[in-house]
Amino acid sequence: MDNSPDKSPAARGRTVNGGVPVAPAAVLFDAYGTLFDVYSVGLLAEQLFAGRGEALALLWRDKQIEYTRLVTMSAPDGSRYRPFWDITRAALRFAASRLGLTLGSDAEDRLMNQYRALSAFPDVREVLGQLKALGVTTGILSNGDPAMLGVAVRSAGIEALLDHVISVEPVRAFKTDPRAYGLGPATLGLAARQILFVSSNGWDAIGATWYGYTTLWVNRAGLPLEQLDTAPTRTGASLRDVLGFFPAAVAT
């Protein structure tokens, strides 16, 4: 199978003067897993369920993403849509049940409140601050509902570093539905190829590439590329790799 980078115009990004790269006009970040560490809930989960915290955090996340796909694909008209907060609670309940854990109301509330204010990755403020200093428009494009995202952004102290916080809620469809990705260009007034979409989720980076964004997959875990004959515009190991799209940032 050919795993070479996608040669589509979106994957090549914008160029001028015979191929000289042009910095993106804006950057949109996925939130959960990219800016906020979804597995940081494992610490509390371990306190509540000794020896099972990591397993709970992993299954919780997997089921959360599975449920977003299920409700979106099962009803394209959005009739089965539920806010990401509700999806997250349902996924927690399934994960606990699947692992044979007794999830009382107190433990459930504590874990959900922890998810509401997930830890931001250490490089988030640095990267957003540098983009802000360069005058680059920044934002979040996330499955999260507005209330969830608002708390997470304020808790991380990055509210002033973001120009937009975009939830998929208005279209009642989760990523990778094209309607969800379409909120970025519609909000920013830019073509998708002019926007750098950044995600640490490989499936999200591929979905955004297919939609037409210039993309960066932040592959912190060193995972293999999705085997779908498509690659993001670039792959990095840190959020700092976003700055590589901006020559002015690299030069400083």
What is the predicted pLDDT for the residue at 152?
95
Length of the chain: 252
Report d(CA 63, CA 70) in Å as an integer: 10
Domain-terminating residue out of 85, 116, 147: 116
Region for 66 from its dihedrals, namely left if φ exceeds 0, alpha if ψ lies in -120 to 50, beta otherwise: alpha
Among candidates 30, 71, 35, which has minimal Cα distance to 203? Answer: 30
Q: Say how far apart CA 68 and CA 91 lie, in whole Å.
A: 10
Q: Check whether residue 99 and residue 77 sit in a common domain.
A: yes
Task: Quote the domain boundaries for residue 237.
Answer: 9-36+119-251
pTM of the model: 0.90
| The domain boundary residue, chosen from 116, 142, 157 | 116
Same domain, 82 and 200: no
pLDDT of residue 6: 40
Q: Which residue is catalytic, options 30, 37, 177, 204?
A: 30
Active site residue 30: yes
pLDDT at 22: 75
**Does 74 fall in a domain?**
yes
Residues 16 and 42 in one domain: no
pLDDT at residue 235, as a whole number:
97
pLDDT for position 248 = 72
pLDDT of residue 10: 39
The pLDDT value recorded for residue 131 is 97
3 domain residue, yes or no: no
Q: Is residue 1 part of a domain?
A: no
| CATH number for position 45 | 1.10.150.240
Answer yes or no: do 31 and 99 share one domain. no
CATH number at residue 27: 3.40.50.1000
What string of pLDDT tens digits covers the 252 residues of the chain? 333 344 443 334 454 444 446 799 999 999 999 999 999 999 999 999 999 999 999 999 999 999 999 999 999 999 999 999 999 999 999 999 999 999 999 999 999 999 999 999 999 999 999 999 999 999 999 999 999 999 999 999 999 999 999 999 999 999 999 999 999 999 999 999 999 999 999 999 999 999 999 999 999 999 999 999 999 999 999 999 999 999 876 555
177 and 54 in one domain?
Answer: no
Q: What total of structural domains would you count in the chain?
A: 2
- Domain assignment present for residue 2? The answer is no
Q: What is the pLDDT of residue 9?
A: 38
Residues 52 and 145 in one domain: no
- Report yes or no on 14 lying in a domain: yes
